[in-house]
Structure 1
Amino acid sequence: MSRSGLPGQPGGLLLSLLLGACWPLAFAPFGWSYLAMVLLAALFFLVQDSSPRVAAQRGYVFGFAAFAAGTYWIAITLHQFANMDWFLAGALVAFLAAYCALYPALALWLAARFFRGGARLLALPVLWVLGEWLRARLLTGFPWLATGYSQTGALLGGFAPWLGQYGVGLATAAVAAILAALAVRRSPLAMTAGGAALAALYGAALAAATVSFTHPSGAPLQVRLLQGNVPISEKWDAPKLDAILLRYATLIAATPPGTQLVVLPETAFPVFQTEIPQFIDNLRRWSAAHHSTLIIGMPEVAGRDYYNAALEIDSLAPLRWYRKQHLVPFGEYIPLPWLLASLVHNFMPGLGSFTVGRGASVLPVGGEQAGMSICYEESFSRDVRKGVVQGANFLVNISDYAWYGHSIAAAQSLQMAAMQAREEQKPDVRATNTGITALITPAGRVAVQLPQFVEGALDGKIQPMAGQTPFGRWGEWPFLAMALLLLALAYLPAIKRRR
């Protein structure tokens, strides 16, 4: 690759666009994890000597292409369920991509504005991942396609229990920066130093992956995960309610003896509990007779508030609820309702009516604690960590990706779920309406899964794990401290120049 004629020229922008369009290939379902390093190395190489303006332009074009290609599936639900034509649905995806692209543009602008030469290559990976961290925080956050998730099952994922997925992302971006540096300086000394740095980084990741911070708690749990495969077009159709309840009742009744936990997907029962009291009572009696706990996704009404929730039925004990705490903007709540509510309800009446949940993020199961999350929450490490801090021995997620059709969304979400399991070294059970329903090991490996778009049940065992990883204990603070320290080291040459 040559930089001749690229800085400030259309060729540089076009190359950045192509690099960004390939970014989703580093993630599930494609799984070409090495591409994350190759693509970032090429981008860092392009901005090594660029002005801040050119660097920001290339970062923005890269980010726009990456998010447009990687989140195209949002247009599916906008077209099919919000009654938008494809042009408007595509325009809204482009709007989201345009917003998300601001973060890589800012990262590259800061690197070009305040750092030079080798210091810039040290600062670039730090600023890149800090931009991702910021993107997952502002305006409720959107962590999709964060660099660390690409390495969920790769060697660099060994840093996950220590520093979380942002630490993994930092290591990945650091590899990219080393490769970019080797492309700039091809001397034997540079090659030796770069090779040693790569060996040290991968060696540290390999060593980090061998440390176990959690240990078995109690006996293994026999679990059953139900996948109803109910089309969205039928799920909220009132005349189809009885058929949906019967479908799940049949799957529950077929539960093998000795099963201690049965999990149903998000809004598996598309009705308030107050509307089916007899059905709930029948499930309580079934639970008592079979000594099995049920966790059922269904909306909850409490006074004037509505929640996207999970209902726990444990024998004849009082019902327990987990209420979703991180809602999807525009899907489950409407930002600036005084301005946007009428516009949103024009496409989907009643949308965005849920209330943010409060309270515990765990539910008791067989003497253990299940760390709960619902759909979107599982893409946020900080949301999953809430349950671990509160004593969760294993993770439970219920989701419904039927909204996004036959797209890559479900595979992307499964990859993020696996990263959360690896961060916490806890097993994860996830029940989804149309897939991907799976059991995930504490090492972040998918042990078994159901095919998508089939009705069925997944039976298996999980071993609850007690204890906390460094990430589970301290969250993102160690990563942030390391990132700020590296930025300070990178800025030292600039301070010396000023003196």
Structure 2
Amino acid sequence: MTVDAPERMPFALRLLAALILGVAWPLAFAPFSWWPLAIALPFALFWLATAEERPWRAATLGYAFGFGAFAAGTSWIAITLHNFAHMDWVLAGAAVGVLAAYCAFYPALALWLSTRFFTGGARLLMLPVFWILGEWARARILTGFPWLATGYTQTSAVLGGFSPWLGQYGVGLVTVGVAAILVYVLQHSRSRRALVGGIAGLLVIFGMAMAAASVSFTHPVGKPLRVSLLQGNIPISEKWNADRIREILHRYVTLILQTPPDTRLVVLPETAFPIFQTELPDLIGHLRHWSAIHHKVLLIGIPEDVDHRYYNAAMEIDGRAPLRWYQKEHLVPFGEYIPLPGLLGPLVHHFLPGLGSFSQGHGPFVLPVDGQKAGMSICYEESFSRDVRKGVEQGAVFLLNISDYAWYGHSIAAAQSLQMAAMQSLQEQKPDVRATNTGITALISSRGRVGVSLPQFVTGTLNGAIQPMAGKTPFGRWGNIPYLVSSLLLLLTAFVLRRRR
């Protein structure tokens, strides 16, 4: 196949190819983790798109890719809608399709902008910039949806070395940038200068990534913290059944009492106690007494009732101090709150009565644990770098997340979430303590490596230790500013190339 083959391919065939490339996109992420696909698939898409001079057709290719990617990569949402909203599979699949149709807008816009305003090398330069800016915007607009962002694919790969410097969006920019360089080399395959320049550029990028990964911005502080993470494995169908509350509480209390003597922090998952704290004064009193005697801190996921305002919260029990709380700030739309409640509330409550009733928390984003500070997040929040950074900005020396992915059954959702959690540790160079209801319960090192974990869908306790880390990475200090500045510089460079052309 020659270099100019895309121009000779029928547009319908190119559109089908873009859709297939998008369907393969989730394979670059956990649990498959075929990270080279994060380069190969955009390379193929850009190769197809750069043959187009009509912006709407390039955008259509991007839309087909995006729709395939999100329809395949977030198909697990249909499991929740079918099992718990009692939608039939057709309707649940259609809801996933609506989400995919929305998310596909961003890669479509990236290809449209690149084709509309740039040509030649300037277009190839701007394709990665607009691609990742689209992901950055998608994580913010309408409360944000950061799933399947390119940078997460590199969590355990060489290019992940840029994470503490530029964050996952910067990593994504470099990753897709490699794809654009390969397209440039292919387009100029008969030019020795282009070939040598492309290879040299790739060697520089991967060399810089390895060098960047070797830099430590954080340092150990205090002694290692012994932790016990409890995985109750409570099915959602039982968790919110009032007749099973006593059994659920007994299961978790039994696991608490069985933790090793040297444990200093015992962590229970999100809403492990599926009942308001106001209904459990005696049990909480007993746990505070036990905590004081055994010198252990308990962190329990439990809904909080504050003057009939309800929060998805974590309650910290330290027998030597008053109760402390972390209230989830970044709520899941349609699950924990309902956008436009007057309009959409009746529809949501028809399928899932009682959902959407949580209020937004307002910090603090750290809790004191054994003389150190834990950066708190609950479930969905760990997917957002800006949410995790709030705890780091308040002095967190390790990250702590409680979650419940039982909603998504035996799907890839839990593995995708674990990969994003590992990226947060890598960006901040701080270990992560992660307790979930059905998995994946794990300890993640400050280098983003999953050390030990529990199998999914088992009841058990994960015992281990983490080393708290003080200090801030460039990303922890400045967030996405370095990435955005880099994007701006590339944009200015592209305009210079455009003017010269």
> Shorter-chain-normalised TM-score: which range?
over 0.9
- 1:138 to partner: Cα distance: 0.3
Count of residue correspondences: 497
Equivalent of residue 102 in structure 1, options 94, 100, 105: 105
Correspondence for 1:208 = 212
Equivalent of residue 267 in structure 1, options 266, 271, 279: 271
Amino acid at match of 1:45: W
Equivalent of residue 437 in structure 2, options 430, 433, 444: 433
The answer to whether the 8 A contact 2:6-2:51 is kept is no
The 1-side partners of 2:363 and 2:445 are apart by 27
Residue 202 and residue 282 in structure 1: after superposition, are their counterparts in 2 closer, same or farther (change >3 A)? same
Amino acid at match of 1:276: L
Q: Match of 2:300, SS?
A: strand
- Which aligned pairs between 1:120-269 and structure 2 lie closer than 5 A? 120-186=123-189, 187-269=191-273
The 2-side partners of 1:201 and 1:127 are apart by 20
Q: Match of 1:373, SS?
A: strand
Correspondence for 1:358 = 362
Amino acid at match of 1:383: D
Q: Match of 1:326, SS?
A: coil
- 1:322 to partner: Cα distance: 0.2
- 1:4 to partner: Cα distance: 4.1
Give the TM-score normalised by structure 2. 0.98
Equivalent of residue 470 in structure 1, options 470, 474, 490: 474
Correspondence for 1:41 = 43
- Stretches of structure 1 that go unaligned for 5 or more consecutive residues are none
- 1:189 to partner: Cα distance: 1.5
The 1-side partners of 2:275 and 2:357 are apart by 15
Amino acid at match of 2:90: F
- Stretches of structure 2 that go unaligned for 5 or more consecutive residues are none
Which runs of 4 or more aligned residues in structure 1 lie more than 6 Å from their structure 2 counterparts after TM superposition?
none
The 1-side partners of 2:8 and 2:352 are apart by 46
The 1-side partners of 2:290 and 2:421 are apart by 30
Correspondence for 1:83 = 86
- 1:5 to partner: Cα distance: 4.8
The answer to whether the 8 A contact 1:285-1:316 is kept is no
Q: Alpha carbon RMSD of aligned pairs, Å?
A: 0.9
Correspondence for 1:66 = 69
The 2-side partners of 1:188 and 1:253 are apart by 69
The 1-side partners of 2:377 and 2:47 are apart by 40
Q: Deviations along 1:32-76, whole A, 9 cap, x unmatched?
A: 000110001001111113121111000000000000000000000
Task: Establish whether residue 119 from structure 1 lines up as the match of residue 97 from structure 2.
Answer: no
The 2-side partners of 1:310 and 1:6 are apart by 59
Amino acid at match of 1:9: F
- 1:190 to partner: Cα distance: 1.2
- 1:146 to partner: Cα distance: 0.1
Identity of aligned residues (%): 68
The answer to whether the 8 A contact 1:8-1:54 is kept is no
Equivalent of residue 422 in structure 1, options 422, 426, 435: 426
Correspondence for 1:31 = 33
The 2-side partners of 1:8 and 1:444 are apart by 44
Amino acid at match of 1:39: L
Q: Match of 1:388, SS?
A: helix
The 2-side partners of 1:183 and 1:274 are apart by 66
The answer to whether the 8 A contact 2:6-2:47 is kept is no
The answer to whether the 8 A contact 1:6-1:12 is kept is no
Amino acid at match of 1:215: H
